[in-house]
Structure 1
Amino acid sequence: GVLESSGLIAAGLRLLVLSAPKHLLTFVIVLAGVLSNTASEIGYVLLVPLGGIIFLGAGRHPIAGLAAAFAGVSGGYSANLLLGTVDPLLAGLSEEAARIVDDGYRVNPAANYYFMVVSTFVIATAGTWVTERIVIPRLGAYEGQGDTDAPDVLQELSRIERRGLGYALLAAGVFVAFLLWGTVPADGFLRNPETGGLLRSPFLSGIVAFIFLGGTVVGVAYGAATGAFRNDADVMNGMGKTISTLGTYLVLVFFAAQFVAYFNWTNLGLIMAVKGAETLRSSGLGGIPLMLSFVLLSSFINLFMGSASAKWAIMAPVFVPMFMLLGYTPELTQTAYRIGDSTSNIIAPMMSYFALIVAFFERYDKRSGIGTVVATMLPYTVTFFMCWSVLLVIWMTLGLPVGPGAGLTLAP
């Protein structure tokens, strides 16, 4: 909330995109889209229209710019260099589901972090390829239909905004140095005092608190430098605006908790997991085909149910314990789910911002509608699904952990 209300995220995205060399423009727009999904709706309301404006200014079809940005923001929802608000939520749901089988199992919010980081560059590259090789040639030359007036977001950063970014960078450096001081030395105070490692350490256990502190420190530094925050009341108001949007989330968490609790109380989750595991075991399918099938199932369900957390609240109590009984970790199952959930976001009319994307398309082509958006974005969905599936296969073949302390298989 502090990062967003201070204007730091918007300024950072504008700087990243507007300063990109022309030959890297598409890649930077897709990459910026992926990175923006840590900040709720910023990517949709700022970066997607900005992509169209920048493409138009570069003499390219603006709808291709909209598509590239939308592919990054929504199709790359499960890829990032930073943890977002959805990571702790999904991890919490996975942990509760895992405890149907193992009462003491813990899933940390950074459970998929390693996979997310690599996915960031895979998705940015794949999105660039689709835009340049498929979308732009298919759209052809832009004929100038629709309203093309450029808004203020196309303006270069002001001197005050650049000064604010400098202060924010300095604050971020100090905060990162503090974290390194606590985690890099063998006797660091943020390491596990018993083992000396990072697993089950204060750092990983408190990752949500550190994300909050880091965002607050950097956001306040930027806001103070630009004048967005003149006193503590301004900071509180910024936090309050974000908290006011969490009503739907709180309702969802309440009913999700009841759903998981009823599953535990009735043993339905355990029964379904055992029966499902027996069926899958008798089918003879290996781990890779099973996970790819789960990716496909998640992608299909996402077409009809937009919320990632709402879907996982329903699916986790069944599939997490089921795959645990087959020997696969909740973290791997969550990774497969997130791949499927992301790939079909951009062609799912049930996605909460889909109507807004249609409106952006109509700005440049009055004939645009839901079908136009789906047809434009379908190549991204197919390509993202293929690239992410290949990455998952490689990851599982090499036996790499998907996050800190998050292996692929459970200890026998």
Structure 2
Amino acid sequence: MTDSSAAATPPQKGVLGWIERVGNRLPDPVVLFLWLVGILVVISVIASAAGWSALHPTEVDPETGRQKVIAATSLLSADNIARLWVEMPATFTHFHPLGYVLVVMLGAGVAERSGLFGTAMHASVRGAPQWLLTPLVAFVAMMGNLAADAAYVVLIPLAAVIYHAAGRHPVAGIAAAFAGVSGGFSANLLPGQLDALLFGITEAAVETVFGDWQANIAGNWYFIAVMLFLFLPVIWYVTDRIIEPRLGSYVPAGLAAKGDIGEQDRPLNDGERKGLRHAGLAILFVIGLWLLFTLGPGTPLVAEDGPPEGRFTPFYQSLVAGFFLLFLLAGWAYGRATGVVGNHRDLVKMMSESMGDMAYYLVLAFAAAHFVAMFAWSNLGLILAVHGADGLKAMDLPAPVLLAAIVLLTAALNLFVGSASAKWALLAPVLVPMLMLLGISAEMTTAAYRVGDGSTNIITPLMVYFPLILIFCQRWQPSFGLGSLAATMLPYSIGLLVTGTALVIGWVALDLPLGPGASVHIPVPTTAP
């Protein structure tokens, strides 16, 4: 990703063009987040004075024995003012994606600057039909959810490199990968750590009303597999027929000056082929090392004493470090073979330069971290989630319509509460027992929640990786702003939401199994603890 200037994107028309123009008139994202903090402070003061509150679905006040009250808290209270200034370093350094991004980029910077990324993508797409790039990127992106946060910081920037090497607009590659990783957050061929996380919350929600109930981590297996194959053509169509035509052609300034637009078609030289072989051996070494840690003596990356659904949690959590080591060693091996890396000083220099590229992201992350944290301190997100669930319960809708409403409610709440587990922890104690009393299984309610949770991830700045995606886009097109990103991702969000909602309604209507031993309908429970 060395070329950062491109031909200007042609003026856009229609609704998406209006969204882009209005969004790009907004101030720099750093300043925008600071404005949002100011607005949030005002709203929190009004909410606190007005007594906005909600009853927590599960927590009990130890003094009264009644449900705990969630009250809006003024961000100008003495406690929150002290919290802002005292915890400022921790608020920044504990910002969830920060550590993941910096660790992976330390290794990825070496792989990029040594030339490995460019050569590997060059080799992979040379002679391959360009029309297959989008479905391949979307498929890998959705499967990459098994790697959780690592998928954001690894797959999405790599998609830009792939598209660039194929002579296509790199921002289209970022959009397709972002739609797969984040919009298709739950779509996969295999259950993973997200299933363990969500079904653990589902189990607790059921037990608060109906007593002992064992979660089935594969309870959405068939559903999420079908979701992947339905989302794939949606992402493919939106990318190739809507987004890439809007972006126009991408011609890096350096190549345009030389008239060498067909550079991606040249054959690899001997040094590059040797470098790829050495990099491949380094990759096999890292994979073998992780297999040893997972399957070998002592199994340090497997929690042998933990619950079955959480046995591989250490393995999943180690993947960010694994990608760091893989990129670092593969980049070093390629650089040594091609002569780009002479000694350890070259390696350290490449790692340092990669951190220099992240300087703006660090400033942006500082502002975003404080907005997200202060939103949580105000309790406004929790109150919105609880009242939204209560309102849905009061509608008394037919099962297919109710589940579709749950999808839409979750999609709307996701604009304000980004964490999938945090929203589900608040919604599940109300939604799961409520639908079980209507004869709808806990697995079906969880599946409906998952559809709504992913569809709006890609259009809300509150999603913690949203600023990072903006930085990825700006590396290829410096004029790309918040409005550009929102306009680019909105068609994906609408397409995935409509498709996912139709999937939920159809699944309930046809009464299909959701996974092994998991059905849509259940006998209405008649006993409670």
**TM-score, normalised via structure 1 length:** 0.67
Is 1:376 paired with 2:488? yes
Q: Work out whether residues 30 and 128 of structure 1, in 8 Å CA contact, stay in contact via their aligned partners in 2.
A: yes
Indicate which of 402, 413, 436 corresponds to 1:301: 413
Indicate which of 262, 267, 277 corresponds to 1:159: 277
Is 1:86 paired with 2:204? no
Q: 1: CA distance between counterparts of 2:507 and 2:453?
A: 19
Report the alpha carbon displacement of residue 143 of structure 1 after superposing the two structures with TM.
Answer: 5.1
For 1:110, the equivalent position in structure 2 comes to 218
Report the alpha carbon displacement of residue 162 of structure 1 after superposing the two structures with TM.
Answer: 4.1
Is 1:133 paired with 2:241? yes
Q: 1: CA distance between counterparts of 2:254 and 2:418?
A: 29
The amino acid of 1:305's aligned partner reads V
For 1:57, the equivalent position in structure 2 comes to 165
Q: 2: CA distance between counterparts of 1:76 and 1:147?
A: 35
Q: 1: CA distance between counterparts of 2:478 and 2:329?
A: 40
The within-5 A match list for 1:21-60 is 21=128, 22-60=130-168
The within-5 A match list for 1:252-271 is none
Q: Work out whether residues 279 and 329 of structure 2, in 8 Å CA contact, stay in contact via their aligned partners in 1.
A: no
Which region of structure 1 is more displaced relative to structure 2, 368-377 or 103-112?
103-112
Q: 2: CA distance between counterparts of 1:63 and 1:307?
A: 26
Q: Work out whether residues 98 and 105 of structure 1, in 8 Å CA contact, stay in contact via their aligned partners in 2.
A: yes
The SS at the match of 1:74 is helix
For 2:308, the equivalent position in structure 1 comes to 206
The amino acid of 1:340's aligned partner reads G
Cα RMSD of the aligned pairs, angstroms, is 4.1
For 1:99, the equivalent position in structure 2 comes to 207
Q: Structure 1 68/113 Cα, relative in aligned 2: closer, same or farther at 3 Å? A: same
Report the alpha carbon displacement of residue 377 of structure 1 after superposing the two structures with TM.
Answer: 0.2
The amino acid of 1:371's aligned partner reads G
Structure 1 residue ranges without an equivalent (≥5) = 149-154, 177-204, 229-254, 256-268
Q: Work out whether residues 29 and 68 of structure 1, in 8 Å CA contact, stay in contact via their aligned partners in 2.
A: yes
Q: Structure 1 352/207 Cα, relative in aligned 2: closer, same or farther at 3 Å? A: same
Q: 1: CA distance between counterparts of 2:226 and 2:522?
A: 23
Report the alpha carbon displacement of residue 345 of structure 1 after superposing the two structures with TM.
Answer: 0.3
The amino acid of 2:402's aligned partner reads L
Q: 1: CA distance between counterparts of 2:123 and 2:233?
A: 19
Is 1:343 paired with 2:455? yes
Structure 2 residue ranges without an equivalent (≥5) = 1-102, 112-116, 257-271, 296-306, 331-375, 377-385, 525-529
The amino acid of 2:187's aligned partner reads A
For 1:291, the equivalent position in structure 2 comes to 403
**Structure number with larger C-alpha Rg:** 2
Report the alpha carbon displacement of residue 355 of structure 1 after superposing the two structures with TM.
Answer: 0.6
Report the alpha carbon displacement of residue 333 of structure 1 after superposing the two structures with TM.
Answer: 0.6
The amino acid of 1:395's aligned partner reads W
Report the alpha carbon displacement of residue 357 of structure 1 after superposing the two structures with TM.
Answer: 0.6
Report the alpha carbon displacement of residue 349 of structure 1 after superposing the two structures with TM.
Answer: 0.5
Indicate which of 316, 337, 352 corresponds to 2:464: 352
Q: 2: CA distance between counterparts of 1:26 and 1:377?
A: 15
Deviations 1:79-123 (A, max 9, x none): 112333222111111111111221022222222111111212222
The SS at the match of 1:37 is helix
Report the alpha carbon displacement of residue 165 of structure 1 after superposing the two structures with TM.
Answer: 7.0
Q: Structure 1 161/69 Cα, relative in aligned 2: closer, same or farther at 3 Å? A: same
Q: 2: CA distance between counterparts of 1:366 and 1:162?
A: 33
Q: Work out whether residues 193 and 313 of structure 2, in 8 Å CA contact, stay in contact via their aligned partners in 1.
A: no
Q: Work out whether residues 145 and 364 of structure 1, in 8 Å CA contact, stay in contact via their aligned partners in 2.
A: no
Which region of structure 1 is more displaced relative to structure 2, 64-73 or 39-48?
39-48
Q: 2: CA distance between counterparts of 1:43 and 1:54?
A: 15
Q: 2: CA distance between counterparts of 1:81 and 1:351?
A: 24
The amino acid of 1:54's aligned partner reads I
For 1:237, the equivalent position in structure 2 comes to none
Report the alpha carbon displacement of residue 142 of structure 1 after superposing the two structures with TM.
Answer: 2.3
For 2:4, the equivalent position in structure 1 comes to none
Deviations 1:320-342 (A, max 9, x none): 11111111111111110110000
Q: 1: CA distance between counterparts of 2:140 and 2:447?
A: 22
Percentage of matched positions with identical amino acids: 40
Report the alpha carbon displacement of residue 206 of structure 1 after superposing the two structures with TM.
Answer: 2.5
Q: 2: CA distance between counterparts of 1:314 and 1:143?
A: 48
**TM-score, normalised via structure 2 length:** 0.53
The within-5 A match list for 1:120-269 is 120-142=228-250, 144=252, 158-159=276-277, 162=280, 206-209=308-311
For 2:516, the equivalent position in structure 1 comes to 404
Higher relative contact order (CA 8 A, sep 6+): 2
Report the alpha carbon displacement of residue 125 of structure 1 after superposing the two structures with TM.
Answer: 1.9
Q: 2: CA distance between counterparts of 1:293 and 1:146?
A: 51
Q: 2: CA distance between counterparts of 1:17 and 1:121?
A: 28
Report the alpha carbon displacement of residue 347 of structure 1 after superposing the two structures with TM.
Answer: 0.3
The amino acid of 1:66's aligned partner reads I
Q: Structure 1 404/166 Cα, relative in aligned 2: closer, same or farther at 3 Å? A: farther
Q: Work out whether residues 121 and 162 of structure 2, in 8 Å CA contact, stay in contact via their aligned partners in 1.
A: no
